[in-house]
C-alpha cells in the first residue's frame, strides 16, 4: 500500500530532508586526498546526534546480508556502487569518486539522500559519468508530478543514461519513504514491466536514486555482505533525493 502524506507530515519530512542535505554538504567539503571514509563517518554521526535525530542505516537489517549495517553512512568508492562500509583503512586517493549516502529519522519521519563526490581532479570519463547520472536524477524529478505514472520517472532516468552509453544498475532501486525508511512503491531506474506502475498522486514521497555504471550493469556483493561492486570493475555513480508529489509540482525535500 502506498501511503500518502498530509501537509504536516511533509513538513516533518522536510526537516529530516534538510538535515541530510546539511550533513552531505559538510561531508562533501571534507573530501580530499588522504581523508578516510571513517573520517566522514565520525563527522556524520556527530551531526546526527547533535540534531537529536536517529541514524537510519546504523543497525539496519536485511536477510540477504545476515548482519546489521554497522555505520551511519554508506561510503562507496569507484567500482563500489552502494552500501560501502566506512573504514579507517579506506583512504581516499586523488582521482577517486566516492558515493556518500545517509538517512536519518527526525520527529518520526525519514530523510534519505546520496551524492557522488570527486576526490581532487578526476578523469574526464569520471566527470562525464557523474554529470550524466546527476542529470538523470534532475530529469526524473521533473516527471514527479500528480497525474503522471511511476514509469515516467523510471523512463526519464533510463533514456538519459542509456543515450549516453552508460548502464542502469538493476539490482537496487529507489523507494517510497515516510514513517518507514522503505515504503511502497519500488522506484526502478528503468521501465520494468514486472513492477507496478501506479499513478502519481499528491502526498506521495519517493526516494529517487539513479545508480549508473560506466561499464556492465551487473553487481556482486563483497565478503563483508554489504558492499555492492560492479562485476567488471567499472566505476559507478549514485545520486538521490526524496521528492514529494504536490499540487504545485515536485518538492525536493532533501536540499538545504
158 contacts 190 by C-beta, under 8 angstroms: yes
Domain contains 1: no
Q: Would the pTM of this model clear 0.85, i.e. be above it?
A: yes
Structural domain total, the chain: 1
Tens of pLDDT along 83-136?
999 999 999 999 999 999 999 999 999 999 999 999 999 999 999 999 999 999
Does some domain include residue 2? no
87: containing domain: 7-252
Position 244 in a domain: yes
Residue 41 lies in a domain: yes
Residue 68 lies in a domain: yes
| CATH assignment of the domain containing 163 | 3.90.230.10
How does pLDDT run across 169-220, given as a tens digit for each residue? 999 999 999 999 999 999 999 999 888 999 999 999 999 999 999 999 999 9
Using left for φ > 0, alpha for ψ between -120 and 50, and beta otherwise, residue 184 falls in beta
Amino acid at each position: 500500500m502506498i501511503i500518502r502524506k498530509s501537509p504536516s507530515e511533509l513538513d516533518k519530512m522536510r526537516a529530516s530532508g534538510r538535515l541530510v542535505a546539511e550533513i552531505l554538504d559538510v561531508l562533501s567539503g571534507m573530501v580530499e586526498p588522504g581523508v578516510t571514509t571513517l573520517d566522514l563517518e565520525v563527522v556524520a554521526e556527530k551531526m546526527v546526534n547533535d540534531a537529536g535525530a536517529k541514524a537510519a542505516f546504523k543497525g539496519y537489517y536485511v536477510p540477504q546480508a545476515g548482519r546489521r549495517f554497522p555505520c551511519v553512512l554508506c561510503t562507496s568508492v569507484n567500482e563500489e556502487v552502494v552500501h560501502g562500509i566506512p573504514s579507517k583503512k579506506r583512504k581516499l586517493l586523488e582521482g577517486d569518486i566516492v558515493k556518500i549516502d545517509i538517512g536519518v529519522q527526525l520527529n518520526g519521519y525519514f530523510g534519505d539522500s546520496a551524492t557522488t563526490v570527486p576526490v581532487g581532479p578526476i578523469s574526464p570519463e569520471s566527470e562525464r559519468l557523474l554529470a550524466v547520472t546527476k542529470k538523470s536524477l534532475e530529469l526524473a524529478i521533473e516527471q514527479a508530478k500528480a497525474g503522471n505514472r511511476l514509469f515516467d520517472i523510471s523512463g526519464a532516468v533510463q533514456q538519459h543514461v542509456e543515450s549516453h552509453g552508460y548502464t542502469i544498475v538493476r539490482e537496487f532501486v529507489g523507494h517510497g519513504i515516510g514513517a518507514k525508511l522503505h515504503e511502497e512503491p519500488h522506484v526502478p531506474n528503468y521501465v520494468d514491466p514486472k513492477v507496478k506502475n501506479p499513478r502519481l498522486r499528491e502526498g506521495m514521497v519517493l526516494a529517487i536514486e539513479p545508480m549508473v555504471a560506466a561499464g556492465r550493469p551487473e553487481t556482486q556483493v563483497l565478503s563483508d555482505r554489504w558492499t555492492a561492486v560492479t562485476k567488471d570493475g567499472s566505476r559507478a555513480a549514485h545520486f538521490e533525493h526524496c521528492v514529494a508529489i504536490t499540487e504545485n509540482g515536485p518538492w525536493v525535500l532533501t536540499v538545504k
